[in-house]
Amino acid sequence: MMTLIWSSLTIGAVYALVATGYNVVFTASGVFNFAHAQLMMLGVFITYAGLVVLKLPIIVVFLMAGAIVFVVAAVEERVAIRTVRVAEAQLVTTVGVATLINGSVQRIWGPSPLSVPYFSSNQTVTLFGGRVLPDEIVIIVTTFVVVAILMLLSRRTMIGLAMLAIAENREAALLRGVNVRRLALGAFAFSGLLAGLLGPIIGPQTFAAAGLASAIALYGFVALAIGGFGSLPGGLIGGFVVGFAEEFTARYMNSNYPDVIVFVILLIVLLFRPNGLFGKTRERAV
Amino acid sequence: MTTLSDRLKTVPTFTLPLVVAIVVVLLPQLGLSATNQRQVLLIGFLTLLVSGLNLSLGYAGELALGQPAIYATGAYVAAYMGAHGTTDILLQIVAAVGAALVVGVLTGIPGLRLGSWSLAMTSFFLVLLIPDIANIFPNATGGMVGAVGIANATFFGAQVTNYGYYLVVVLCVIFWLAFMRNLVTSRHGIALRVMRQSPVLASSLGISVFRTKLLAYALGAVPAGVAGALFANLDHYVSPGTFSFALAISILAASILGGATSVYGAVIGAIIMQLGPSVSTSFQQDALIFYGILLIVGGVLLANGVSGLANKAWKKYVVKRAHATRDHAAAATEFHFAPLNGAKLSVNGVSKSFGGNQALRDIVLDAQPGQVTALIGPNGSGKTTLLNMICGFYRTDAGTIDIGGTRVEHLRSHEIANLGLARTFQTPVIPAGITVAEVVLSGRYSPERVSIASAALRLPKYWKVHAHDRAQVAEILNIVGLSDLADEAADSLPLGTRRMLEIARALVSNPRVILLDESASGLDEDEVARLALLIGRVRDAGGTVILVEHNFRLVLSLANTIHVLAQGEIIASGTPADIEVNPRVLTEYLGVKDVAAAAAAIEADTTGSSR
């Protein structure tokens, strides 16, 4: 039972990280980056290439994954976001970026899943009466640390406050001297950096698989919806809710049901708590 | 003048596709090979899928990625029927459409509440569910193996031949495209375009944004359901592998390629996407990379590329012409409004605060039919906030608002609009890409209704209302003096003309209450005179006019009652004669210290700056 809880927490942490990536970009630029899960997948594939193909030391792999995805995300913002101001067209271009990354990854590494080695040990340990891999613990702890740091940054630094200001009212922030464009670029690049750095951490669990992104994109989105768009702690909790829902239905019903159950949760949340558990409602202005 | 250009517009858009359609119907008779016939059929299915997406993406502005799921729904329903003794293809199509609508509406409602990416993601999620659902019901769907044993389709008892099947598919595509064309060229099409660009404007015209989006999204499911039913009868085999993410992406790519905001573009997009991949095998391998680049480039162009350039050129041309013709624009001087059934508007004790900022405090005012009630006050005094509360854009913190005996403070804005409230905006809201006549036509949405069905099928009711629409639009354009601009792109007009256009749009709905928000600012002297004349006529016709205005002289000359707002409170109410000499008004609004100098100040204050 505790083993099941550990695996739920692990997979939930991955979804929470996807939701966090969505949130960082959404808060700073009001854009929903459909391709964020693909950026994370890219980080995992680069990890595979670095550790297995090039046999580089883990530190170098971290830096390489972070740097490459950082650049890819920055390019995405310049090419596919900044040139487009209409929301539905941005959706189309971000879907385009997602498709492009999917296609490129398949072209380079092939369609079958590749296993990414553990960077610590692969000996399971028993913790609170459940078996768990050290890597799983690392994922869970990392997720909490990332969310905590981002929350601190968003409240304590000028950049964080500026991002909140943009999320609240883009034009007002602009008038107060916030460089909205540079921050949007920065947020994309930062989310890319984060996605890249997480590659070696989540890779052993998720595998380097071309189908990875679509699944975690959707589950990460459900986490986001549950937590409320723009809420960092909300995304964290949402991620764990989805993780538990998935693992428990897979265990106690069968493997056909997790998607259905998570989808039903999504519909219910959108219907009855459209702003999530932590989101705020806002009045429409003319 | 509209008839000629209308004719010029409709002739080519409808004859060329008709000729193409006839050719396609006859192709097998002309010796098209079976392989190529199959390509035509596949293009037909893809066209239906893309066209459905166009309705939601191109017209309603909502990206739906779930077309493969709706397609699968239709296919599985038809497959189940075909394997269980109901082989009539028409019955299968009807059932498939019904099922597609149910799935579309049930999954669309939650996603549409938040719109944009919520809908994109919920609909995308549906595609992920297809294999799961197939596995959960293995007896009905055949699971991952696929549904087999689908009997040959029949048509009223007769076996459907190969050519018969070909005909059914092609006719379904033709019928759908005709339906779609009729829909988007009707007032519903204009409503969709208005809503896509400004939901606020749409609801102030009495269009329910949510319902309209849901309708567009649900209608977009119809062709996908039809395509599904037809697809099940192609190979008598349906398996989950067909309805993949890749299909969702290629539908989107086809939509972007052909132009999302178009009817026949779906055919072009479908042809390219169907025939393109078969050109070379290396293409198939790199298909996703190609689609990705296509979507990025297409999305950028969709937002501001090709159509943007065209718009700019158009704008340059039109503005020039507009300026050239404005001098000659002869507005009708002799006109009368049909009597308006004005309603009394009562605002009673309304308060509103935004956070700690008390925008309005205990506002009490009445506006009577056949009178002009003016609202003046410095910037930030709460005038527009009050209008927005009357329109239902903001909720009141306290107090009641009543229009003609109906309490409206809890109604939504489109419901209030449908009670007969029309307004203009401080900054004119004129959607891009539609003509002056169409802008005015959008104001006709609320007073006289036509169902989607009668518009798309061109039933008698549609033609009747259509005739009314044209007559009313022509009349009102004549009255405001914009007849000569009827077919110009509305968003390229100068500010003063756009203000008049907004007034025309408000008047064409025969409003019971009309709210004018700073309509005179930015108008030249002639236009102000015209505006004053119009407001006077509306008042004489029995309409209830609320005038928010900085032009003090205009207010004094028109208003029956003036209410002066300052810092969210009414500081004075009365006739123009009272207000003109009210000391508080002079100090707080006009900024006059010396009351004796008031008269001079009023004379000077014609621009309406509030100092």
The 10 Å Cβ neighbour count of residue A259 is 22
Do the chains contact at B296 and A221, CB–CB below 8 Å?
no
Residue B323 predicted with pLDDT over 60: no
* Confidence (pLDDT) at B585: 77
3-state secondary structure of B448: coil
Residue, of B126 and B492, whose pLDDT is higher? B126
Residue B433 predicted with pLDDT over 80: no
Do the chains contact at B124 and A218, CB–CB below 8 Å?
yes
Residue numbers in A near B292 (CB within 8 A) = 96-104
Measured CA to CA, the distance from residue B409 to residue B392 in angstroms comes to 7
DSSP letters spanning A58-108: HHHHHHHHHHHHHHHHHHHIIIIITT--SHHHHHHHHHHHHHHHHHHHHHH
Task: Give percent of chain A with pLDDT exceeding 90.
Answer: 38
Give the β-pairing of A125-127 and A130-132. Answer: antiparallel
Do the chains contact at A93 and B425, CB–CB below 8 Å?
no
Which of B61, B110, B287 faces A270 most closely, judged by CB atoms? Answer: B110
Same domain, yes or no, for B360 and B268? no
Query: Comparing C-alpha atoms, which of B44, B31, B209, B236 is closest to residue B116?
Result: B209
Are the C-beta atoms of B545 and B370 separated by less than 8 Å? no
Q: Give the tens place of pLDDT for each residue, B535-571.
A: 888 888 888 999 998 888 888 888 899 998 888 888 8
* Confidence (pLDDT) at A194: 92
Do the chains contact at B110 and A93, CB–CB below 8 Å?
no
Do the chains contact at B300 and A88, CB–CB below 8 Å?
no
Do the chains contact at A34 and B289, CB–CB below 8 Å?
no
**Eight-class DSSP state of B340:** P
Q: What CATH number corresponds to the domain at position B559? A: 3.40.50.300
Same domain, yes or no, for B258 and B362? no
* Total residue length of chain A: 286
Task: Show which of B223, B245, B277 is a domain's final residue.
Answer: B277
Residue numbers in A near B302 (CB within 8 A) = 84, 86, 89, 92
Residue numbers in B near A266 (CB within 8 A) = 110, 122, 125
Provide the number of structural domains found in chain B. 2
Q: What is the mean pLDDT of residues B33-39?
A: 88
Residue B180 lies in a domain: yes
* Confidence (pLDDT) at B327: 46
* Confidence (pLDDT) at B77: 94
Residue numbers in B near A271 (CB within 8 A) = 109-110, 113
Do the chains contact at A97 and B124, CB–CB below 8 Å?
no
Do the chains contact at A96 and B292, CB–CB below 8 Å?
yes
Same domain, yes or no, for B120 and B216? yes
* A107 to chain B, closest Cα gap in Å: 7
Residue numbers in A near B124 (CB within 8 A) = 218
Alpha-carbon dihedral B457, B462, B463, B464, rounded to 10 degrees: 150
Residue B247 lies in a domain: yes
* A254 to chain B, closest Cα gap in Å: 9
Distance of CA B390 to the CA centre of its chain: 23
Query: Comparing C-alpha atoms, which of B586, B540, B601 is closest to residue B376?
Result: B586
Residue, of A275 and B94, whose pLDDT is higher? B94
3-state secondary structure of B158: strand
Residue numbers in A near B300 (CB within 8 A) = 80, 83-84, 89, 93
Measured CA to CA, the distance from residue B368 to residue B344 in angstroms comes to 5
- For chain B, how are helix, strand and coil distributed in percent, rounded to 5? 60, 10, 30
Which of A99, A218, A285 faces B292 most closely, judged by CB atoms? Answer: A99
HEC-encoded secondary structure of B103-154? HHHHHHHHHHHHCCHHHHHHHHHHHHHHHHHHHHCHHHHCCCCCECCCCCCE
Q: Give the tens place of pLDDT for each residue, B373-422.
A: 999 888 888 888 888 889 888 888 888 898 888 888 888 888 888 888 89
Which of B125, B289, B425 faces A103 most closely, judged by CB atoms? Answer: B289
* Confidence (pLDDT) at B175: 93
Q: Give the tens place of pLDDT for each residue, A130-176.
A: 788 888 888 999 999 999 999 888 888 777 777 777 777 777 777 77
Q: Give the tens place of pLDDT for each residue, B464-482.
A: 888 888 888 888 888 888 8
Give the β-pairing of B513-517 and B544-548. Answer: parallel
**Model confidence at B318, in pLDDT bands (50, 70, 90)?**
very low
Are the C-beta atoms of B422 and B476 separated by less than 8 Å? no
Do the chains contact at A98 and B292, CB–CB below 8 Å?
yes
Measured CA to CA, the distance from residue B546 to residue B559 in angstroms comes to 9
Do the chains contact at A99 and B132, CB–CB below 8 Å?
no
Burial B394-430 (b: 16+ CB within 10 A, else e): bebeebebbbbeeebbebebbbbbbbbbbbbbeebbb
Which of A88, A107, A221 faces B116 most closely, judged by CB atoms? Answer: A88
3-state secondary structure of B348: strand
* A267 to chain B, closest Cα gap in Å: 6
Give the β-pairing of B406-407 and B569-574. Answer: unpaired
Same domain, yes or no, for B30 and B110? yes
Helix (H) or strand (E) holding B484: none
Q: What is the mean pLDDT of residues A242-268?
A: 89
* Total residue length of chain B: 611
Q: A30 to chain B: nearest residue by CA? A: B117
Domain A2-272 CATH (choose: 1.10.3470, 1.20.1450, 1.10.10, 3.10.450): 1.10.3470
Are the C-beta atoms of B503 and B543 separated by less than 8 Å? no
Measured CA to CA, the distance from residue B205 to residue B421 in angstroms comes to 9
Do the chains contact at A103 and B113, CB–CB below 8 Å?
no
Sign of the Cα pseudo-torsion (B227, B231, B232, B233, in order) = positive
Q: What CATH number corresponds to the domain at position B52? A: 1.10.3470
Do the chains contact at B384 and A218, CB–CB below 8 Å?
no
Residue numbers in B near A93 (CB within 8 A) = 295-296, 299-300
Give the β-pairing of B561-566 and B569-574. Answer: antiparallel
Average pLDDT, chain B: 83
Do the chains contact at A260 and B126, CB–CB below 8 Å?
no
Measured CA to CA, the distance from residue B61 to residue B481 in angstroms comes to 33
Same domain, yes or no, for B401 and B509? yes
DSSP letters spanning B50-66: HHHHHIIIIIS------
* Confidence (pLDDT) at B70: 94
Residue numbers in B near A107 (CB within 8 A) = 285-286, 289
Do the chains contact at A267 and B300, CB–CB below 8 Å?
no
Burial B3-23 (b: 16+ CB within 10 A, else e): eeeeeeeeeeeeeebeeebee
Q: Which domain holds residue B83?
A: 2-277
Which of A79, A99, A260 faces B129 most closely, judged by CB atoms? Answer: A260
Measured CA to CA, the distance from residue B172 to residue A196 in angstroms comes to 49
Sequence letter at residue A109: W
Do the chains contact at B299 and A84, CB–CB below 8 Å?
yes
Which structure tokens are listed for B533? 């004349």
Between chain A and chain B, the number of residue pairs with CB atoms below 8 A apart is 156
* B376 to chain A, closest Cα gap in Å: 19
Residue B116 lies in a domain: yes
Residue numbers in A near B69 (CB within 8 A) = none
Spatial strand order in the sheet of B357-367: B357-367, B345-354, B398-403, B406-407
Which of A93, A256, A283 faces B135 most closely, judged by CB atoms? Answer: A256
Residue B595 predicted with pLDDT over 60: no
Task: Give percent of chain B with pLDDT exceeding 90.
Answer: 16
User: Which of B121, B293, B426 to mutate against chain A (most A CBs within 10 Å)?
Assistant: B121
First to last CA, chain B: 46
Residue A123 predicted with pLDDT over 90: no
Measured CA to CA, the distance from residue B502 to residue B322 in angstroms comes to 17
Task: Show which of B277, B295, B312 is a domain's final residue.
Answer: B277
Which of A96, A104, A267 faces B110 most closely, judged by CB atoms? Answer: A267
Which of A92, A229, A283 faces B298 most closely, judged by CB atoms? Answer: A92
Average pLDDT, chain A: 86
**CB neighbour list of residue A27: distance below 8 Å, 6 or more residues apart:** A154, A163, A164, A166, A167, A187, A230
Residue B330 lies in a domain: no
Residue numbers in A near B129 (CB within 8 A) = 259-260, 263
Q: Give the tens place of pLDDT for each residue, B352-380.
A: 888 778 888 888 888 888 889 999 888 88
Measured CA to CA, the distance from residue B415 to residue B411 in angstroms comes to 6
Do the chains contact at A263 and B289, CB–CB below 8 Å?
no
Q: What is the mean pLDDT of residues A77-88?
A: 84
Do the chains contact at B125 and A218, CB–CB below 8 Å?
yes
Do the chains contact at A85 and B425, CB–CB below 8 Å?
no
Which of A90, A99, A260 faces B249 most closely, judged by CB atoms? Answer: A99
Do the chains contact at B116 and A285, CB–CB below 8 Å?
no
Task: Show which of B259, B277, B295 is a domain's final residue.
Answer: B277
* A271 to chain B, closest Cα gap in Å: 5
Measured CA to CA, the distance from residue A100 to residue A102 in angstroms comes to 5
Do the chains contact at A80 and B299, CB–CB below 8 Å?
yes
Residue numbers in A near B354 (CB within 8 A) = 283
Measured CA to CA, the distance from residue B456 to residue B452 in angstroms comes to 6
Do the chains contact at B122 and A267, CB–CB below 8 Å?
yes
The residue extents of the domains of chain A are 2-272
* A77 to chain B, closest Cα gap in Å: 11
Q: B395 to chain A: nearest residue by CA? A: A283
Do the chains contact at A96 and B299, CB–CB below 8 Å?
yes
